[in-house]
Amino acid sequence: MLRASIHVDKYAKTGHQGAEFCPLMSCFGIINSENILGASCLFIFVYNTSMPSILFVCTANICRSPIASALFRATISKEVDASDWVIDSAGTWAVEGKPAAEYSQAVVKALGQDLSTHRSKSITMEMLRSYDLVLVMEAFHKEALAAEFPEYKGKIFQLSELTGRKFDVRDPYGSELEDYRDTAKLINGILREGLPKIRELLARN
């Protein structure tokens, strides 16, 4: 989201000046420019620094976490701030560059979403540093990430914790299509119920 303020000094003729600062997810810029009438116009742009970012994590990043990221995009699509969200997924032990599982793509497509361009990737320290909230599928994922990256454990939660409970979202890999449907239904229900909790956790971070 961009907020802009404009100040015009009709008598100053200072020519062109500029300054900008762009850390991750924020941007500040000043442009002082003489217009064709000889007026100096000062434009100050300040980008919103509270753009929410969320990373979904499973094991191989081909089943549960891509399903979750796609369904969460659908969950927030009607929210007023839908376009502001940064959403992605990763795996704790992913083989790089693999497409989403065939049944993952099928169940998401049936719900109006698309995973055809998804490619798997492993989670990195940079991802943990950059994202505001990390939602994992199993207690083991949370424990492993917290042990390896203790400085970021405060932003790592099990997906099920959004509903006030703790349980694993079972990996459907190698199962039948119906198991993938059940997994997608479970994830979708958690995300819809847990959206207020997601906003609460983001506000803390």
Is the separation of the CB atoms in 51 and 84 below 8 Å?
Answer: yes
Annotated catalytic residue: which of 63, 64, 88, 132?
64
CB 29: neighbour CB atoms within 10 A?
15
Let me know if 58 is a catalytic residue.
Answer: yes
Return the closest-CA partner of residue 65 out of 29, 35, 34, 108. Answer: 108
Cα–Cα distance for residue pair 133/87, rounded to 1 Å: 10
Q: Note the maximum CA span of the chain.
A: 74
Let me know if 84 is a catalytic residue.
Answer: no
Query: Residue 159, CB half-sphere, CA atoms under 13 Å: how many?
Result: 28
Residue type, 89: S
DSSP-assigned letter for residue 205: -
Annotated catalytic residue: which of 58, 63, 88, 132?
58
Let me know if 179 is a catalytic residue.
Answer: no
Helix (H, G, I), strand (E, B) or coil at 67: helix
Cα–Cα distance for residue pair 168/142, rounded to 1 Å: 11
Cα–Cα distance for residue pair 55/88, rounded to 1 Å: 5
Cα–Cα distance for residue pair 187/163, rounded to 1 Å: 11
Annotated catalytic residue: which of 41, 84, 170, 171?
171
Active site residues: 58, 64, 171
